[in-house]
Amino acid sequence: MKRALWMVPVAAVGVAAARKAGAAAHGAGTGDDRAGDRWLTVTVNRPEEDVRRDGKLPEPLERLADRIDVRTRPAPGDRGTELAARLREPTPPAATSVPARLAGQDPRQDVRRALREAKALLEAGEIMLPDSPPTTRPTPGGRLVGLIGRRSGGEGVL
Amino acid sequence: MKALCWEGVNKLSVEQVPDPELRNDQDIIVRLVAGTTCGSDLHLIGGYIPAMRAGDVIGHEFVGEVVETGSAVRRHKVGDRVVVSSFVGCGRCWYCANDLWSLCDNTNTNPGVGQALFGYETAGIFGYSHAMGGLRGSHAEYVRVPFADYGAFTVPEGIDDTSALFVSDSVPTGWMGADLGGVKPGDVVAVWGCGAVGQMAARAAILLGAERVIAIDRIPERLEMTERYIGAETIDYTTTDVAAELRERTGGRGPDVCIEAVGMEAHSDGPMHLYDQAKQQLRLQTDRPTAVRHAIHACRKGGTVFILGVFAGAVDKFPLGAVINKGLTVRGSQMHGQRYIPMLLDRLAAGEISTAHLATHSVSLDDAPTAYDMFKHKTDGCVRAVIRPGL
């Protein structure tokens, strides 16, 4: 019973993540008819000239340069630079479905991950890696958490 | 190496796991000298914190010796004795730059999980679920410490390992409650919980100039310890109407600042405890906010309630009406250790804060599961069990 109950919050995390991201993808229940083409944005605690040094995009966004539009502007309150990106081509609904996202096939995941990594490199000088191996005993619940974790860097609310 | 692993709800065991390795240039590897049980560990052991995996190494409050450094580490060298903040901060994002280290943008390697739960993710923390970064914990022979120049602090000569250990988490957490709760000279401060964090919050309130500090618990040895080592007054809630007692001791006003240092598995002796426990066991609420409710009701009009205890999700019967109609400020936070640890080491060296009394038990890593059981059930006078891999 206890083991079964433990799965509830794990599943809840997955469902919450999927619903939140699903709502973002399709505008369901949010009244957001721009969900598919919103700018994904991070604020980098560096001046704009550091973020777009020599006019180039910061790594690893530069690697996606042919697929994305990027804009930067100073953040208010001396908070650095707002760095935003979005895919040039509209994302087809099938690519933003929950199965596609769990499979890591939503192209927006690449953009979110690249934004987070660019911010980390610009601010902290490195992308902090998880411990390896993350854990040592495979269980069904652990595999589910592991899958959510692997997708986590490309998901969320940017 | 040996490590204490979470194997499922209320199941811990000591297992062989791979040694940690440097994963980034700013990492160090620390050989553990001592770690300690923490009340917040009980929440994840009991299955109340989501996103744990069987085999996860737990533990987040520790002191040890540097045995390996990454190529970009500047402030530490092999052989340094260090105490490490339980939360990991990169040191250069806006949050770290503004001393809000537990909110660091760059150290939670699973940001989407935290964002689904809380809207935005926390920083990473050692041994505290994959929602909070999935870092391996410190109840092991060795642990990897990312961004070590910012999160590891050399322990000055003259401070023993056991005393320094609690500066990793308990002491800064308590200090933060009093500091960010706005305690100032002349205040009356009430603290719910006389565990290590509650005791340190009470001591911080005294050092910040509070006129009276009153700590509340039900465990006789913890109440006695709080009076003896902290210098605070106490109330045993099993024999005293706390609200009435606080009104009487404060001229009818209520405390200026109320600090909750209990968390999601709060106990009480009223029917609300049974209600909360039933709802939590059925997962109809994730947390039992008993002490938070008491603090909100007891606080004076216009006062401040600071929530130090760990909560993971949603609570029931939160007295929002009291917050609004009494004009309260309610604030909470995970621990910004890097903000306070250097100052606290100085105060420890100066004798203003004592922590060694918290270490009521000392065990080997092999005995850690038994120690956690003793700690959970508060048997044998256990306040904190210190786990020493070298024993």
Q: Residue A89 has which token pair?
A: 């081509």
* Residue in A closest to B7 by C-alpha: A137
Bigger pLDDT: B285 vs A98: A98
Look at residue A23 in the predicted model and tell me its pLDDT: 47
B26-50: pLDDT as tens digits: 999 999 999 999 999 998 898 888 7
* Inter-chain touch A9–B286, beta carbons under 8 Å: yes
Q: Does residue B243 share a domain with residue B198?
A: yes
Band of pLDDT at residue B276, cut at 50, 70 and 90: confident
List of chain A residues whose C-beta atoms are within 8 Å of the C-beta of residue B149? none
Do B14 and B128 fall into the same domain? yes
Same domain for B227 and B348, yes or no, is: no
* Same-domain pairing of B267 and B289: yes
- Within 10 angstroms of residue A82's Cβ, the number of other Cβ atoms is 18
Q: What CATH number does the domain containing B66 carry?
A: 3.90.180.10
Q: What is the pLDDT of residues B83-98, one digit of tens each?
A: 999 999 999 999 999 9
Exposure string of B63-96, with b = 16+ CB inside 10 Å and e = fewer, is bbbbebbbeebeebeeebbbbbbbbbbbbbbbbb
Q: Look at residue A144 and tell me if it is in a domain.
A: yes
- Of residues B241 and B284, more confidently modeled: B241
The pTM of the full predicted model, rounded to 2 decimals, is 0.91
pLDDT band at B310 (very low <50, low <70, confident <90, very high): confident
| Partner residue opposite A136 with nearest CB, options B9, B17, B312 | B17
- Average of per-residue pLDDT across B97-118: 93
Q: B305 with B332: CB under 8 angstroms?
A: no
What is the CATH number for B273? 3.40.50.720
* pLDDT for res B325: 98
Assigned domain for A91 exists? yes
- Asked if the structure places residue A44 within a domain, the reply is yes
Q: Are residues B181 and B125 in the same domain?
A: no
The Cα–Cα gap between A48 and B1 comes to 46
Task: Mark which residues 91-130 of A lie under 8 Å from B by CB.
Answer: 116, 119-120, 123-130
pLDDT for res A29: 47
Do B208 and B149 belong together in one domain?
A: no
Look at residue B76 and tell me whether its pLDDT is greater than 60: yes
B246 and B355 both lie in a single domain: no
- Is B381 in a helix, a strand, or coil? helix
Q: What's the domain count of chain A?
A: 1
Buried b / exposed e along A6-17 (16+ C-beta atoms within 10 A): beebbebbbebb
Do B223 and B321 have their domain in common? yes
Place of tokens 């040890």: B64
Task: Tell me if chain B has a CB within 8 Å of the CB of A90.
Answer: no
pLDDT average, residue stretch B123-146: 95
Q: Tell me whether B5 touches chain A (CB under 8 Å).
A: yes
Task: Assess whether B35 and B102 both reside in one domain.
Answer: yes
Query: Encoding tokens for residue B176?
Result: 């933060």
What residues of B are in contact with residue A16 (Cβ under 8 Å)?
116-117
Q: Is A22 on the interface with B (CB under 8 A)?
A: no
**Residue B281: which domain range?**
173-332
pLDDT (tens, 9 = 90+) of chain A, 158 residues, equals 344 344 444 444 444 444 444 444 444 445 566 666 789 999 999 999 999 999 899 999 999 999 999 999 999 999 999 999 999 988 887 877 888 888 888 888 999 999 999 999 999 999 999 998 777 778 888 888 888 888 877 887 77
Residues B92 and B156 in one domain: yes
Residue contact B93–A124, C-beta within 8 A: yes
Same domain, B326 and B348: no
**Residue at A138 is within a domain:** yes
Closest residue to B47, CB basis, from A2, A120, A130:
A2
Q: Which of A135, A151, A158 to mutate to test the interface with B (most CBs of B within 10 A)?
A: A135
Q: Tens digit of pLDDT for each residue in B110-127? A: 998 888 889 999 999 999
Give phi and psi for A74, each to the nearest 5: -65, 140
Which among B23, B92, B281 is the nearest to A131, CB-wise? B23
In this structure, the answer to whether residues B306 and B360 fall within a common structural domain is: no
Confidence (pLDDT) at B120: 93
Residue A146, domain member (yes or no) = yes
**Domain interval for residue A55:** 35-152
